[in-house]
Structure 1
Amino acid sequence: MDQPIVISVLVAGAILAALVAALGMAGAVHVTSRRAQGYMHFIFYAILLMVAMANLLSGRDLSSSNMKFDEVAVFVRHPLVSLMQPIASLLLLTLAGERVITHWIRRDKSAQAPSALLVAFLLFWLGTVAAPALLGAHPHLSHDYVYPLVIGFAAVLATATERDLAFSAARNALLLFIAAGLLLIPFKPSLVLDASYTQGLLPGVPRLAGLAPHAVSLGMLAQLGLLCLLARPLQRVWLNRLAWVMGLFVLFLAQSKTAWISFTLCSACILIVRQGPSFMRRVGDPVRPEFGIVSLLVFMAAVVGFAALLMFGDIDARLSSFFDSAQGAQLASMTGRDQIWAIAYDEWQRSPVFGYGPTLWDATFREAIGMPNATHAHNQFMDTLSRSGTVGAAALVLYALVLLVLSIRYARASGGLTLALFVALVLRAISEVPLLLFGYGPELIAHVLLLMTLAAAVREARERKRRPANTPPVPRAASAFPPGPRAPQPPLAAARLHR
């Protein structure tokens, strides 16, 4: 008797949720149909809110955690998280779906999405999600697989205004996220600090994980927040400086070498793109050659120092001694990840075309292989190869090539941010899976920002081509991502009058 009642309640709830979703989507489309932008930038708040709630209410104790893959870490999902998760999913679907529907209703030819990026993203989702879900050795379907498709599709339709709103929202959400983790240190230190961590370069200093799933994840989120802060600085100078101090402090305490390297390289990409041309002009300036001479002397000194280190530094003996140590052996095995990669390779050999399927690395599979904490293959290519087979791996390579070409092509137009975000994803993909589209989480943020930045850059390039010849051009880097508050410019009519 109870079972029919439960089934009836569930069916009624599903119907009610569908009606609410339809009404919400229709209302959102009606509200934003006359606006140049929607509210998709709020997805970053929703994603990070769910991550923060899940870890805050998990009851985890980082003081007894470690990096071994053969010990089980049990986290109980709080009922509040189970209640909020469908609401957050519905909100994400509504915000992103509204952009797709509005774009289709308006049918503005001047606002067409970049076809290469859109096709590459759709092929990537079809090859890595749809194909293994339907044709893999262990097929499995879930509504979670649809959310990244809709979000990514909406990101490819982004305008310059939506891109700027997205970076501002991601910046604010990430800063609030890491600030909340810092504020919990006096009250719940074991929840946010790993006092047992001994593998870092800072002996005796606890490792900060904050409200992120892991300290490595927090480091990458802090690095992404600093990139957003660089693209869209806060209006108040003192608040902007405080945000930089907090972001760098969290990046330092996360003790993630990958995040440190990524932040250095991404910042170098932005610096080279923005300052490289002026630097080369100063180096080759024949009127004032002092700067060029000093630069060449510094470069020559660095080359000589590096050569001397190779010749007389006994590098071979030091490397041999390091790899003979416990830390060297751990680095050589990528903290045990080589065993996971071997298992992923074996699974690909068993199902080479469409892979194992979406449920690879679920609880049942991890228990079968004796690695309860190996939630993925800890490498984007190996994870895609084992989970989605050769079809998915080919889609991943094609998608990465399209992102690389577009990131380089529009690097100057975006002030170096397309290249920086691409480099961040590539470095993250070495040991994690930032392009996994079987659900949404903190890894999706950088991916979405890159898609929106590329889409907006393509649209701006098209608008410049359509602009009449007598229209004064707008500086590309400045119009895309202004470095800070600028002084008000005189009206165009007044400027012409003064000529």
Structure 2
Amino acid sequence: MDQAIVLSVLVAGAILAALLAALGVAGAVHFTSRRAHGYMHLIFYAILGMVAMSNFLSGRDLSSSAMKFDEVAVVVRHPLVALAQPLVSLLLLTLAGERIITHWLQRDRTVQAPPVMLITFIIFWAGTVAAPALLGLHPHVSHDYVYPLLIGIAAVLATSIERDLAYRAARDALLLFMAAGLVLIPFKPALVLDLSYTQGLLPGVPRLAGLAAHAVSLGMLAQLGLLCLLARPLQRIWLNRMAWGMGLLVLFLAQSKTAWISFTLCSACILAVRQGPAFMRRASDPVRPEFGIAALLGFMVAVTSITLVLMFGDIDARMASFFDSAQGAQLASMTGRDQIWAIAYDEWQRNPVFGYGPTLWDASFRESIGMPNATHAHNQFMDTLSRSGTVGAAALVVYALVLLVLSVRYARATGGLSLALFVALALRSISEVPLLLFGYGPELTTHILLLVTLAASAREAHARTRQPANPMENAAPHFPGGFRPSPATSRVRL
């Protein structure tokens, strides 16, 4: 009897949620029918706000709960988080659904969404989520898997106006997220700081995790916030400088070497795209060759210095001594990730076509392998290969290649931001899983921003090719007898 009551309540709740979602999408479509954009940019506030609430109410103590693979991580889910999670999911479903429906009811059908991106994203989701969820060794279906699909499709349909709104919303949401973590330092230091951290390059400096799940995640979010700040600076100069100072401080205190390297390379990509052509023109200027000669001499000095160090610096002995140390052994094993990769490879061999399924690395699996905190394979390709099999891995490779080609193609149009976002995702994929689509979280923000950037740039390029030429400017007038007026005559107004 009790089971029947519980089942009835669950069914009624599911029906009510579906009705609310349908009404929300219909209302949003009607509300935005006369606007040039929707409210997709609000997803950044929703996702980061949910992350901040979950970690703030978790009651964690970073000083006593070091992230080690041989200790059980106790996750405390606050009742307010359990209440807010369905509401946030409903909001995301409404915002994304409204954009998709509005696109198919679009007033202006001359500018369509880039079909390559839309098709490859759907194939990527189908190969890495739908296929293992239905055909994997341990199939499992959940409504959480639908949200990234709808959000991703809505991002591919973004226009240039929605791209600008997304940049500003992501920038503001990330700045507020970082500021909240800094404000809590005097009041809840154990919640946002790891005071016992000793493995960083800054001895005696505690590691800042803020309101992120861990310090590495905060470092990547700080990097993304700085990239958005570079793309869309704040209007007030003093406020923009304060934002840069706070972002760099958070990136510094997070002590994530991966985030430092990623931010350096992403900034170099933007600098190369924006300043590279001017640098090459100045270096190859025959009228003023001084700059080109100095640049060439500097390059020659750098190459010579590196060659001398490699020849006479006894690099082999130094590297052997380093890898014999505890720090070197930790680096060689990627902080124990080589064991996780071996387990992921074994799981792929058991079902090479569709993989283990979505529930790989859940609590029961982690307990069975004795790694309670190995929540994923710590590598995008190995995680996809083990969860989704060869089908998912092939979809991942195709999708990554398409993103790479489009990021390079529209690098100049986006001021290098598309290339920087792709590099950030690629570097993150070495040790994390930023392209995982089995739910939504802070890792989804960079992915969505890249899709929005590429989609809007593709739309703009397509619109430029469809613009008809001005006949008064480009069409040559026809004169009888083959006569053509001279340039001086053609400028005379009749």
One-letter amino acid matched to 1:9: V
Q: Is this contact kept in 1: 2:111–2:463, CA < 8 A?
A: no
Measured after TM superposition, the shift of residue 229 of structure 1 is 0.3
Tell me the distance in 2 between the aligned counterparts of 1:119 and 1:9.
Answer: 38
Measured after TM superposition, the shift of residue 355 of structure 1 is 0.1
2:345 counterpart of 1:345: yes
Tell me the distance in 2 between the aligned counterparts of 1:263 and 1:248.
Answer: 10
Q: TM-score, normalised by structure 1?
A: 0.93
Per mean C-alpha deviation after superposition, the further-off stretch among 291-300 and 346-355 is 291-300
2:293 counterpart of 1:293: yes
One-letter amino acid matched to 1:266: C
Residues 15-66 of structure 1 show CA distances to partners (whole Å, capped at 9, x for unaligned) of 3222221111111000112211100000000000010011111111100232
SS in 2 for 1:111: coil
Q: Is this contact kept in 2: 1:223–1:263, CA < 8 A?
A: yes
Corresponding residue pairs, total? 472
Q: Point out where structure 2 has 5 or more consecutive residues left out of the alignment.
A: 472-494
- Alpha-carbon distance change, 299 to 228 in structure 1, aligned in 2, over 3 angstroms: same
Aligned to 1:115: 115
Aligned to 2:146: 146
Aligned to 1:480: none
Tell me the distance in 2 between the aligned counterparts of 1:459 and 1:34.
Answer: 20
Q: Is this contact kept in 2: 1:59–1:75, CA < 8 A?
A: no
Aligned to 2:81: 81
Aligned to 2:155: 155
Residues 411-446 of structure 1 show CA distances to partners (whole Å, capped at 9, x for unaligned) of 101111111000000000000000000000000000
SS in 1 for 2:110: helix
Aligned to 1:357: 357
Measured after TM superposition, the shift of residue 4 of structure 1 is 4.2
Tell me the distance in 2 between the aligned counterparts of 1:7 and 1:407.
Answer: 48
Tell me the distance in 1 between the aligned counterparts of 2:263 and 2:388.
Answer: 30
Q: TM-score, normalised by structure 2?
A: 0.94
Aligned to 1:434: 434
Aligned to 2:311: 311
Aligned to 2:18: 18
Measured after TM superposition, the shift of residue 3 of structure 1 is 4.5
Q: Is this contact kept in 2: 1:168–1:228, CA < 8 A?
A: yes
One-letter amino acid matched to 2:241: R
TM alignment of 1:20-419, pairs within 5 A: 20-106=20-106, 108-419=108-419
One-letter amino acid matched to 1:377: A
Per mean C-alpha deviation after superposition, the further-off stretch among 115-124 and 301-310 is 301-310
Larger gyration radius, structure 1 or structure 2? 2
- Alpha-carbon distance change, 463 to 386 in structure 1, aligned in 2, over 3 angstroms: same
One-letter amino acid matched to 1:385: L
Tell me the distance in 2 between the aligned counterparts of 1:304 and 1:64.
Answer: 49
Measured after TM superposition, the shift of residue 251 of structure 1 is 0.3
One-letter amino acid matched to 1:96: A
Tell me the distance in 2 between the aligned counterparts of 1:241 and 1:83.
Answer: 38
One-letter amino acid matched to 2:44: F
Tell me the distance in 2 between the aligned counterparts of 1:107 and 1:394.
Answer: 37
Q: Is this contact kept in 2: 1:408–1:418, CA < 8 A?
A: yes
Measured after TM superposition, the shift of residue 199 of structure 1 is 1.3
Measured after TM superposition, the shift of residue 314 of structure 1 is 1.4
Aligned to 2:479: none
Measured after TM superposition, the shift of residue 165 of structure 1 is 0.3
Residues 130-177 of structure 1 show CA distances to partners (whole Å, capped at 9, x for unaligned) of 000000000000000000000000000000010010010000000000
Tell me the distance in 2 between the aligned counterparts of 1:127 and 1:77.
Answer: 31
Measured after TM superposition, the shift of residue 317 of structure 1 is 1.1
Measured after TM superposition, the shift of residue 470 of structure 1 is 4.1
SS in 2 for 1:375: coil
Tell me the distance in 1 between the aligned counterparts of 2:314 and 2:7.
Answer: 73
One-letter amino acid matched to 1:419: L
Per mean C-alpha deviation after superposition, the further-off stretch among 311-320 and 365-374 is 311-320
Q: Is this contact kept in 1: 2:144–2:438, CA < 8 A?
A: yes
Identity of aligned residues (%): 82
Tell me the distance in 2 between the aligned counterparts of 1:115 and 1:244.
Answer: 37
Aligned to 2:446: 446
Tell me the distance in 2 between the aligned counterparts of 1:224 and 1:317.
Answer: 38
Supply the RMSD in Å over aligned alpha carbons.
1.3
Q: Is this contact kept in 1: 2:422–2:450, CA < 8 A?
A: yes
Q: Point out where structure 1 has 5 or more consecutive residues left out of the alignment.
A: 472-499
One-letter amino acid matched to 1:395: A
Q: Is this contact kept in 1: 2:69–2:371, CA < 8 A?
A: yes
Tell me the distance in 1 between the aligned counterparts of 2:468 and 2:271.
Answer: 32
Q: Is this contact kept in 2: 1:283–1:291, CA < 8 A?
A: yes
Tell me the distance in 1 between the aligned counterparts of 2:358 and 2:6.
Answer: 29
Tell me the distance in 1 between the aligned counterparts of 2:67 and 2:48.
Answer: 24
One-letter amino acid matched to 1:172: D
Tell me the distance in 2 between the aligned counterparts of 1:13 and 1:123.
Answer: 31
